[in-house]
Amino acid sequence: MKPHITRDLLYSIARHSNWRPGGIEAMLRSSGIYAGPRNWASLLRLLLLGAGVSFIVAGVVFFFAYNWDAMHKFLKLGLLQALIVIVTAYVLLSKRSETTRNLLLTGNAMLVGVLFAVFGQVYQTGANAYDFFLGWTCCVALWVAVAKYPPLWLLFMALVNTTLFLYVQQVATHWPFAVLLDLLFVLNGTAVLVWELVAHKTKNRTRSRWLQRVLGLAAVTAITISLVVGIYANMEEDWGLCVLLAALGYGAGIWHGQRVRDLFYLSVIPFSGIVVVASLIVRMADKTPELLLLLASLFVIGSTTLLVRNIIRINHKWHGKY
Amino acid sequence: MENTEQQALDLLLRQIREQEGEGFVYDRAEINAELEQSTPLLANLPVKLLTILGGILASLFLLGFLFATGLYDSPTGMLVAGLLLLAGSVAVIRIRKDTLAETSCVSFHIIGYLLFGIGFSGLFQSEDALYSLLALMALGVLFAAANSILTFLAVLVFSGSLAAIILNHQALNLMHGYIGAVAGLLTYLSLREATLISLGSWFSRVYGPVRMGLVVTLVAALALLMHQPPLPAGGITHYWLSGVLLIAAVLFVLSKVMRQAGLANRKQQLLVYACCGLVLAPTVLSPAVPGALLVLLTSFYIGHKTSFAAGVLSLVYFVILYYYDLQLTLLQKSGVLVLTGALFIGGYLLLQKHLKNDAN
């Protein structure tokens, strides 16, 4: 049996033994806690490629932002379109690694935004019009679906969220703020669901789950603010819808977190509940503010303690002591 | 502990004895007791984050309660309450190691600093005295509190107080020395982890939170440098001082990495230094970029994911800021960016070729 070595375990042994520094350092290296030559090579590769693609895309953005008068509008649009077609063809036909092609595709998705921006510049459609972002979102949707690449998905979700936000600001101005938050919750929550399904279908649970976490955090933040705003607005304006969505989403999240053994859902969702209940307690503080504020504080301490204990217990059950 | 875990620990201890020789002695009971109490690896980050967030939230409500009771009218009351809360939270956390004690002590500790600060400002008009006292108290907490979150907070309060003294005296260019000292300490801590944790129990307990505190301090100091608040007398100048110090620290970390990676060829080493020097030289007047790179490299070196993520995010932010602040036209900036991007892609292709050749 190979012992599962963690930094905490090595620290404990170092504290209660006469283990020499050289031995500790050798163990930190051999157990893979410290980065080895392969890890450094991977980091360098990713940094160079990521920085290279980002800098070139940023350079293209700056070039068109300069709005060169001497350059004819057709040339500007044509250049960008040609660049997008060339990169797409390269991504499709090249035999380079999947990561390289996905990074290029992400850069290409940014170029589509530049194309729309130049179009807006030429025809004066406005830089923050919601249909600008809607067009950008629709045009890259197919690449996003095919590539299943987390950074590209993050860009796509940022576009979807921005489009919705601007739509409510510019067109659906009569929509209450709570409805916007509820919709953001539904959008980001659905994206989490899609990614969890992808992870389930590809049986790839070990792959990094950062995208689900970022989107999950966005969804939980939106519904938490919606619930708290509802509490302070005397539970008017679709608070029932908000509670229903939260109940469904949180229930599904907790169930899924237990099923796939992910502590993220089991930490974030209950903490959102703690924030909402504490807000509810403070909301009642009109008559006796001192006592209810103290009660809210004690509630947060007590419930956070229970939550932390529960997380440690569940983790112990799933993964053992370390 | 479960049986299998006991066996795994036995195996590991045997393995260490084989390497260290028969002179290796350990206290198995103490190790067991500590592991029983420690937070498991996978639950470590959520537990720490929840404790800090819960602590801040509870502190806000408790502060509201204290103000609602009229404590705000009495600076002396706030000063005394602050001191009592600070001392009480440190004392309780030394005696009790359970989760309830940790969550509540974090809340009381944060409020302690706040009440002490507000109370002291109400009674005395000396900002220097306030910052000096806060720094001294934070040092006391650092030595007395056997808890990672309180230690982390103590580092932030200590470094924040020192920075406040520098800014208060308008000795603005001392910030370069401050940044250099923080960067030097962070580099030293990251490269000498094994030596430091073997120095004694206290060192190994404070190592992690102190290092994380230094990461936050460095990023915050660099952000302050790049977004100076409206400071009198022209603000901070001589940016190259911080730039040179931070670039030197990055190159020093690289030399250590190359040694560890077995890159003994002198020519290859010089090539790496030249490439890094070429990339970093233009950032000498924008020290935030090499500073963030230093956080990223040192964190990757010791395999610390949270500070690595902090390094990546701050690097992205400071690079964007660097190009945003560049005194060039958009067209010139575009040229510089495309050229730099092409250089990076070229470097990537060369590296791929080199790694392929090495593999064959």
Q: What's the 3-state SS for chain A?
A: CCCCCCHHHHHHHHHCECCCHHHHHHHHHHCCCCCCHHHHHHHHHHHHHHHHHHHHHHHHHHHHHCCCCCCCHHHHHHHHHHHHHHHHHHHHHCCCCHHHHHHHHHHHHHHHHHHHHHHHHHHCCCCCCHHHHHHHHHHHHHHHHHHCCHHHHHHHHHHHHHHHHHHHHHCCCCCCHHHHHHHHHHHHHHHHHHHHHHHHHCCCCCCCCHHHHHHHHHHHHHHHHHHHHHHHCCCCCCHHHHHHHHHHHHHHHHHHHHHHCCHHHHHHHHHHHHHHHHHHHHHCCCCCHHHHHHHHHHHHHHHHHHHHHHHHHHHHHHHCCC
Domain count, chain B: 1
User: Among A126, A152, A174, which residue terminates a domain?
Assistant: A174
By residue range, what is the domain housing residue A219? 188-322
Cβ-Cβ contacts under 8 Å, A53 against chain B: 341, 345
Q: Do B100 and A301 touch (CB under 8 A)?
A: yes
| Per-residue pLDDT reduced to its tens digit, A230-239 | 888 766 667 7
Check pLDDT > 90 for residue A271.
Answer: yes
Name the band, by pLDDT with cuts 50, 70 and 90, for residue A178.
confident
Distance CA A75, CA A67 (A): 12
CA–CA gap between residue B112 and residue B105 (Å, rounded): 10
Please give the pLDDT value at position B229: 64
Tell whether A248 and A138 lie within a shared domain.
no
Q: How far apart are CA A246 and CA A244, in angstroms?
A: 5
In chain A, positions 21-50, which contact chain B (CB-CB < 8 Å)? 21-29, 32-37, 39-41, 43-45, 48-49
Does the structure's ipTM exceed the value 0.95? no
Nearest to A23 among B5, B16, B57 (CB): B16
Residue at A1 is within a domain: no
Q: Which residues contact A71 (CB under 8 A, 6 or more apart)?
A: none
Pairwise CA distance, residues B46 & A264, whole Å: 7
Rounded Cα gap, residues A181 and A249, in angstroms: 14
Q: For residue B237, what are its two tokens?
A: 């100048």
Mention every residue, 6+ apart, whose C-beta is less than 8 A from residue A184.
Answer: A161, A164, A165, A218, A219, A222
Query: Mutate which of B318, B348, B354 to disrupt the A interface (most A C-beta within 10 Å)?
Result: B348
Are A149 and A257 part of one and the same domain?
no
Same domain, yes or no: A91 and A121: yes
B26 with A3: Cβ contact below 8 A = no
**Residue B266 domain flag:** no
Asked whether residue A36 is assigned to any structural domain, the reply reads no
How is residue B170 annotated by DSSP?
T
Name the more confident of A201 and A269: A269
Contacts of A43 in chain B (CB under 8 A): 300
Q: Give the pLDDT confidence score for residue A237 in this predicted structure.
A: 62
Count chain A–chain B contacts defined by CB atoms under 8 A. Answer: 274
Residues in B touching A293 (Cβ below 8 Å): 61-62, 64-65, 68
Domain membership of residue A24 (yes or no) is: no
- In chain B, which residues have their Cβ closer than 8 Å to the Cβ of A68? 331
Pick the residue with more confidence: A240 or A244?
Answer: A244
Q: Which residues of B touch A23 (CB under 8 A)?
A: 16, 19-20
A296 and A193 inside one domain? yes
Looking at residue B55, what is its pLDDT?
A: 85
Q: Is the pLDDT assigned to residue A215 strictly greater than 90? A: yes
* Helical (H) or strand (E) element with B73: none
Residue A207 pLDDT class (50, 70, 90 cuts): low
**Tokens representing B173?**
């260019």
Per-residue pLDDT at A309 exceeds 90: no
Same domain, A129 and A211: no
Closest CA to B150 of B79, B210, B66, B84: B210
> Mean pLDDT for each consecutive 10-residue tract of chain B (360 residues)?
71 88 86 74 74 87 84 86 93 84 86 92 90 95 89 96 92 90 96 92 91 96 82 72 94 91 83 88 90 96 92 93 85 90 89 77
Task: Please answer whether residues B215 and B260 qualify as being in contact, where contact means their C-beta atoms are separated by less than 8 angstroms.
Answer: no
Return d(Cα B276, Cα B269) in angstroms, integer. 11
Answer yes or no: do A192 and A160 share one domain. Answer: no
Q: Cα–Cα distance between A298 and A319 in angstroms, integer?
A: 31
Q: How much is the pLDDT for B72?
A: 77
Mean pLDDT of the A70-84 span: 87
Residue of B nearest to A321 (CA): B40
- Does residue A135 contact residue A91 with C-beta atoms inside 8 Å? no
What predicted TM-score, i.e. pTM, was given to this entire model? 0.83
Cβ within 8 Å of A, B 288-307: 300-303
What pLDDT sits at residue A205?
53
Q: Can you tell me the mean pLDDT for A288-313? A: 86
What pLDDT digit, counting tens, does each position of A110-157 carry? 999 989 888 888 887 766 788 889 999 999 999 999 988 999 999 999
Q: Please say which residue of A127, A146, A174 terminates a domain.
A: A174
> Out of B24, B300, B330, whose CB is closest to A66?
B330
The verdict on residue B204 lying in a domain is: no
Contact criterion met (CB < 8 Å) for B41 and A8: yes
Judge: A301–B20 Cβ closer than 8 Å, yes or no. no
Determine contact: B70 vs chain A, CB below 8 A: no
In-domain check, residue A297:
yes
Query: Is B66 domain-assigned?
Result: yes
| CA gap B360, B355 in Å, rounded | 9
Tally of domains within chain A: 2
Q: Is residue B317, in this structure, part of any structural domain at all?
A: no
Q: How confident is the model at residue B217, as a pLDDT? A: 97
Q: Is residue B121 part of a domain?
A: yes
Q: What is the pLDDT of residue B339?
A: 92
In a domain, B330, yes or no: no
Would A284 be classed as within a structural domain? yes
**Residue B213 confidence (pLDDT):** 96
Residue B63 in any domain: the answer is yes
Whether A200 and A290 map to the same domain: the answer is: yes
For residues A153 and A205, membership in a common domain is answered with no
The SS3 of residue B125 is: coil
Q: Give residue B13's identity as a one-letter amino acid code.
A: L
Q: Which of A174, A200, A221 is the last residue of a domain?
A: A174
Q: What whole-number distance in Å separates Cα of residue A229 and Cα of residue A275?
A: 12
Q: Is residue A29 part of a domain?
A: no
Q: Is B110 a member of any domain?
A: yes
Tell me whether B148 touches chain A (CB under 8 Å). Answer: no
A232 and A105 in a common domain:
no
